[in-house]
Amino acid sequence: MQSFRTELENPVVERDILELERKIALFKEGKIDEEKFRSLRLARGVYGQRQPGVQMIRIKLPYGRVNSAQLRRICKVSEEYSIGRLHITTRQDIQIHYVSLDRTPELWAELERDDVTLREACGNTVRNVTASELAGIDPNEPFDVTPYADATYRYFLRNPVCQEMGRKFKMAFSSSDEDNALSYLHDLGFIPKLKESDGQFLRGFKVLLGGGLGSQPRHADVVYEFLETDQLIPFIESVLRIFDRHGERARRNKARMKFLVKDLGLEAFLELVDQEKKALPFAAFPIETADYEANQLLPNPEKPAFDAELGLDFDLWKLTNVLPQKQAGFVAIGVKVHLGDFYLAQARALANLVERFANDEIRFTLRQNFLIRDVREDLVPYFFQELKKIGLADRGYNSLGDITACPGTDTCNLGIASSTGIAAELEKVIFDEYPQYLKNQNLVIKISGCMNACGQHNMAHIGFQGMSMKAGKTVVPALQVLLGGGNLGDGHGRFADKVTKIPSRRGPQALRVLLSDFEENANGLDFLSYYDQQGQMYFYELLKELGDASTITESELVDWGHEEAYEVAVGVGECAGVVIDLVATLLLEALEKLELGQEALTAGRWSDSIYHHYAGLINSAKAILLSEDISTNSYANIISQFDEAFVANGKINLQGSFAEKVYQINQHEPTEEFAKAYAKQAFEIYQLLKNYREEEVSV
């Protein structure tokens, strides 16, 4: 592993990787609490699998973009450290599986040689910033959101305000009012808009806040119809600071942003956001786009030799897989990837293809596919031929036959039933019995293996959620059937209704019932209109017989893709789970935060220094509260509880309240003078609390 220490050019990245290596060693020596170590590795993209002793690695690809060199690097890493399968997620990441924990630092170092990171791909952080795969080529877009998504990703990567929040935080940029990045179900969603002023068009975003899926989906609130682009980063930072301070930290199932907005009320939440402005390092943050846009050149490769006539398969494929671009003479090619899984030979051939004959990039999509952009129209037959050679020329891109599914019980600790298994069976039903729906791109099926909705099942027209059900004393794999969800555009969406629960083995028959009924009775209505016309109970009655547990047969005791009888085996979820902190660990972490603050101070990064010292103060106070078995559920609660338990009664003398000391953070501009004063105060308070703890232990 010595090589990455000497070859990596970025000292910040090198330090990150060395820190992971050091913490792995400490964990193996029993010197770090298991739950605390989990938090650290998750924030570095290392996620425990359902299978013991191996890890899933999530590779963070901002807005799903990857060039040929990066794709080859990912292939090299997968070949050496994993099993050669690449999995596309619904957040435009790549996951590889069955990786040894000991090898994760060197794996990460290999990826960074082509500017690919694991940092903050999991954990209580800002997750991958997603964007429409059409950004930059969408005929309907007001402007290309790519540079804004990129600036957002880069600004918040390793940013101290969002390293250890109560829960994960998700953002998405759509390319147009079609809202194909699904802004309404994100913590923050952005839709590009133009506004005329003095004869010129200003760029801005419609901003939505507080959306989410899971067991309690919430539609995001519109907070700005038009936010100018130079206010984008300051607004996001203010929101993250409030979420970090007031967000729930004790009850994981109540810790997402949507619950904080609901509890405080939107108006009160936005007041707190506004109060935070003074503390921000930037009142405005202009995002430069001119150079990026000037460098968006179109390729002009020499036309390659062509093998043969392509026939009907090609004609059918073109109907669903070739998309118009706003650039005249060019199209994009949608590649349908079955359940998001593809393999090294395919990926390497793909890298060669886009490097030579397209614009040297692909974009992974929210539906677990990828899009090849900037293909000259006369090269479309050649692309079909080459994609067919590697098994990636299936028709039906973004159609009903293009089902989204999370890994479920294949690898995820939280999986209850097999989502990939049932997805494969449903696709067979569509291809074999309802091929006409391979042209229907207005009807969507999504599947999740549990209620967490990684497969986004509760925003689909037809959704399935993995669960279990009882047949007498026997537990069988089951599916919750949900109907009536969908994206309506411009920040509007609807969540599906839970209709009924059926044994998983009856999923294909349920789909047959639904599609046949729609064919026979919809009379030209789209699915959502037909669902609204008929009502939830109509569909319950349609499917009721399939949910009858008394008729379950022996074959239905086995889940799709399995041979043995079903058994509920849900592990500890690692989707940014709440960490159980020990007093000593917290005090050590507090010191680490203060040291990071000192480094930022030395480097002249005043705002970063202030936030690191703030985090150090919070961790110090939390440690002392924990030593007295006083529970807390947010940073704001830690501050008030500490004053109540230790300062008000004179146990600890801070010459003022803890709240007064800490909350200076949002009452001063982040100047050099304040940063130095705040740092000095933080060290003094830390030392006082550390001494108090040591005296208590000795007594």
> According to the 3-state scheme, what is the secondary structure of 281-327?
CCCCCCCCCHHHHHCCCCCCCCCCCCCCCCHHHHHHHHHHHEEECCC
Residues 6+ apart with CB under 8 A from 313: 388, 393, 395
- CATH topology agreement for domains 2-112 and 404-557: no
pLDDT value of residue 569: 54
Mean pLDDT computed over 453-468? 91
pLDDT value of residue 74: 98
Mean pLDDT computed over 452-471? 90
CA distance readout (Å), 656 to 518, 606, 647, 662: 69, 24, 8, 11
pLDDT value of residue 36: 73
- The structure tokens 């669903």 sit at 320
Predicted confidence (pLDDT) at residue 223 exceeds the cutoff of 50? yes
Residues 6+ apart with CB under 8 A from 473: none
pLDDT tier at 363 (50, 70, 90 boundaries)?
very high
Burial class of residue 153, CB neighbours in 10 A (0-12, 13-18, 19+):
buried
When the pLDDT of each residue in the chain is averaged and rounded to a whole number, the result is: 91
pLDDT value of residue 1: 40
- How far does Cα 502 stand from its chain's mean position? 29
CATH superfamily of 583-698: Nucleotidyltransferases  domain 2 (1.20.120.330)
d(CA 280, CA 236): 11
Specify the long-range contacts of residues 623-628, CB closer than 8 Å, at least 24 apart. Answer: 623/581, 623/583, 623/584, 623/586, 623/587, 623/590, 623/689, 623/693, 624/583, 624/652, 624/689, 624/692, 624/693, 626/581, 626/582, 626/583, 626/586, 627/583, 627/693, 627/696
CATH fold of 404-557 reads Sulfite Reductase Hemoprotein; domain 1 (3.30.413)
Mean pLDDT computed over 74-84? 96
Mean pLDDT computed over 186-205? 95
Both tokens of 241, joined, read 């600071």
Q: State the number of CA atoms in the 13 A half-sphere of 46 facing the CB.
A: 24
CATH fold of 2-112 reads Sulfite Reductase Hemoprotein; domain 2 (3.90.480)
pLDDT tier at 413 (50, 70, 90 boundaries)?
low
d(CA 81, CA 440): 39
Mean pLDDT computed over 236-240? 98
pLDDT tier at 7 (50, 70, 90 boundaries)?
low
pLDDT value of residue 579: 33
- Alpha-carbon torsion 394, 395, 398, 400, what sign? negative
d(CA 589, CA 626): 14
Going by their DSSP bridges, the two strands 65-67 and 46-48 should be labelled as: unpaired
Q: What is the 3-state secondary structure (H, E, C) of 176-237?
A: CCCCCCCHHHCCEEEEEEEEEECCEEEEEEEEEECCECCCCCECCEEEEEEEEHHHHHHHHH
How many residues are present in the chain? 699
Q: What is the pTM of this model?
A: 0.91
> Alpha-carbon Rg of the chain, whole angstroms?
26
d(CA 353, CA 361): 10
Q: What is the DSSP string of 84-101?
A: SEEEE-TTS-EEEEEE-G
pLDDT value of residue 197: 86
d(CA 17, CA 82): 19
pLDDT value of residue 389: 95
pLDDT tier at 8 (50, 70, 90 boundaries)?
low
Both tokens of 274, joined, read 């506004």
Supply φ then ψ for residue 627, to 5 degrees.
Answer: -65, -20
Predicted confidence (pLDDT) at residue 549 exceeds the cutoff of 70? yes
CATH number of 311-389: 3.90.480.10
- Alpha-carbon torsion 647, 648, 654, 659, what sign? positive
Nearest-5° Cα angle at 153, 284 to 360: 120
pLDDT tier at 2 (50, 70, 90 boundaries)?
very low
Residue % of the chain over a pLDDT of 70: 95
CATH number of 130-292: 3.30.413.10
Mean pLDDT computed over 315-323? 95
Supply φ then ψ for residue 395, to 5 degrees.
Answer: -80, 170
d(CA 261, CA 320): 40
pLDDT value of residue 577: 37
Lowest average pLDDT, out of 122-131, 218-227, 247-256, 575-584, goes to 575-584
Predicted confidence (pLDDT) at residue 698 exceeds the cutoff of 60? yes
Domain boundary assignment for the chain: 2-112, 130-292, 311-389, 404-557, 583-698
H/E stretch holding 480:
strand 474-483
